[in-house]
């Protein structure tokens, strides 16, 4: 059944030298005895179908984007450190059991997971394994293995080849001789839709995936950007969870994690992250290759560099929708912005922050055909709609500065008058 846990990503690794990253305390990677396979058996298909992965509209209030804890936690720094992400393409979320690597019917995921645990001491890079959707006869068939940041694909791995594959590719960083690595190009998006593991992912994931597919088509990005569902990656409560792999302007491949992603956020992610190469800090959890602390530091540096603009950019307006992405401007870096009003389009930035600098998010209902993302700090202030720029010297001139300038000017005038009178008396 679906998990009732609200795990806060308490990442723990039983061995500091272990190259296998874990998602949470109950990850299969912590217990080799729990390693299993994804199941496509008729028994599980019927069982999982009965679970109803959470796609009904009635589940939204409890498990979807209207759930009470949605956007109530700070998310930056919630990605455990790892250096390589391996995706095994295998069937689909409708037949994935809650512990997809711990089922008993199919051997491939079980053997691959076991091999990773067994060879963890010999790996040079901390490696995370996730199952993603695969369909025979399509671009990603069952048994295909995608590896990031290497940006390579191996076709049709079978359970007979698992040990050799892990040894040659993941331990020795070489090539798997029976197969030929294919270079991956473009952007790869993975969305957790593991509904049997947690209903929140089962409700939010498919909706986000559908919107991504629509936006990819509308932006003409077919063949350049792909999206597919994946199994549990940690942080159920941050659903919708999204990982985006792609290269930036310098050619380096990065893997950025986003949380609390709604379908209405997808156009903004497409525009900012994929087309412009800019991180959307409001939804950013962290990235591959950075520790939790470094994730927070890197966001801090970005915010200082642009004056908090990453937390204030709104989504692109169109003639068909007024969906808006807006944010509170105050983060733990206490970056100041602007506060101005213009008719019915306020642009305000809160100057209040809680003691821990942890921003809390609140989801607001759709009003007047405008969906907004708002962020509050200690329950004070919000930022909506307009994009704020850093104030000029004139706009930031304080009232006290004006009084001081008048005082100096008055003193100068008084001295001039006194001197003039003195000259006349001579």
| Average pLDDT of the chain, as a whole number | 74
Mean pLDDT, residues 406-425: 83
Higher pLDDT, 102 or 35: 102
Quote the percentage of the chain above a pLDDT of 70.
63
Q: In the structure, what pLDDT confidence band is assigned to residue 153 with cuts at 50, 70 and 90?
A: very high
Q: Are 209 and 241 in contact (CB under 8 A)?
A: no
How many Cβ atoms from other residues are within 10 Å of residue 176's Cβ? 18
- Give the model's pLDDT for residue 302: 93
Mean pLDDT, residues 42-49: 37
**Distance of alpha carbon 111 from alpha carbon 59, whole angstroms:** 35
Whether 28 has a pLDDT exceeding 70, the answer reads: no
Prediction pTM value: 0.65
Torsion of CA 101, 258, 63, 204, to 10 degrees: -80
Mean pLDDT, residues 161-175: 95
Whether 409 has a pLDDT exceeding 60, the answer reads: yes
Higher pLDDT, 356 or 207: 207
- Give the model's pLDDT for residue 404: 74
Whether 11 has a pLDDT exceeding 70, the answer reads: no
* CB hemisphere CA count around 166 (13 angstroms): 25
Give the CA distances from residue 301 to residues 180, 191, 297, in Å, rounded to whole numbers and listed in that order: 41, 27, 6
Q: Which long-range contacts (CB under 8 A, 24 or more apart) does 6-13 make?
A: 6/69, 6/236, 6/237, 7/234, 7/235, 7/236, 7/237, 8/73, 8/237, 9/78, 9/80, 9/234, 9/235, 11/80, 11/234, 11/292, 13/80
- Give the model's pLDDT for residue 215: 97
- Give the model's pLDDT for residue 297: 96
Cβ burial 321-339 (10 Å sphere, 16+ → b, else e): eebbbbbbbbbbbebebbb
Q: In the structure, what pLDDT confidence band is assigned to residue 196 with cuts at 50, 70 and 90?
A: very high
- For the stretch 379-404, pLDDT in tens is 333 333 333 343 444 444 555 566 67
- Give the model's pLDDT for residue 104: 77
């Amino acid at each position: 059944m679906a998990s009732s846990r609200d795990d806060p990503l308490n990442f723990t690794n039983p061995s500091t030298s272990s190259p296998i990253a874990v998602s949470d305390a109950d990850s299969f990677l912590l217990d080799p005895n729990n390693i299993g396979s994804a199941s496509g058996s008729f028994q599980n298909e019927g069982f999982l179908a009965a679970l109803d992965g959470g796609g009904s509209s009635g589940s939204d209030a409890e498990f979807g984007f209207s759930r009470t804890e949605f956007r109530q936690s700070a998310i930056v720094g919630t990605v455990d450190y790892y250096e390589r992400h391996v995706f095994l393409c295998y069937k689909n979320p409708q037949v994935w059991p809650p512990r997809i690597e711990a089922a008993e019917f199919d051997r491939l995921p079980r053997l691959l997971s076991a091999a990773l645990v067994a060879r963890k001491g010999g790996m040079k890079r901390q490696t995370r394994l996730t199952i993603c959707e695969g369909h025979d006869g399509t671009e990603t068939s069952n048994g295909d293995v995608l590896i990031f940041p290497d940006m390579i694909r191996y076709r049709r791995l079978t359970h007979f080849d698992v040990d050799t594959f892990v040894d040659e590719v993941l331990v020795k960083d070489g090539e798997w001789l029976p197969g030929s690595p294919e270079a991956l190009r473009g952007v790869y998006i993975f969305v957790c839709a593991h509904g049997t593991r947690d209903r929140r992912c089962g409700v939010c994931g498919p909706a986000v995936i559908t919107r991504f597919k629509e936006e990819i088509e509308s932006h003409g990005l077919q063949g350049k950007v792909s999206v597919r569902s994946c199994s549990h990656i940690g942080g159920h409560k941050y659903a919708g969870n999204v990982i985006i792999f792609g290269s930036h302007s310098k050619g380096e491949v990065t893997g950025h994690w986003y949380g609390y992603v709604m379908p209405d956020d997808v156009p903004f992610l497409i525009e900012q992250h994929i087309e412009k190469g800019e991180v959307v800090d409001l939804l950013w959890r962290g990235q591959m290759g950075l520790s939790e602390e470094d994730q927070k530091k890197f966001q801090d540096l970005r915010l200082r560099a642009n004056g908090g603009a990453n937390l204030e950019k709104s989504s692109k307006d169109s003639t068909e929708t007024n969906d808006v992405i807006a944010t509170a401007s105050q983060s733990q870096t206490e970056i100041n912005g602007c506060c101005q009003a213009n008719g019915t389009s306020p642009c305000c930035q809160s100057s209040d922050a809680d003691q821990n600098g942890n921003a809390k998010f609140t989801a607001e209902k759709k009003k007047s055909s405008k969906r907004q993302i708002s962020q509050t700090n200690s329950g004070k202030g919000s930022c909506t709609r307009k994009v704020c720029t850093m104030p000029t010297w004139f706009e930031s001139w304080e009232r006290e500065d004006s009084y001081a300038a008048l005082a100096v000017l008055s003193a100068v005038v008084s001295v001039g008058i006194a001197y003039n009178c003195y000259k006349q008396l001579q």
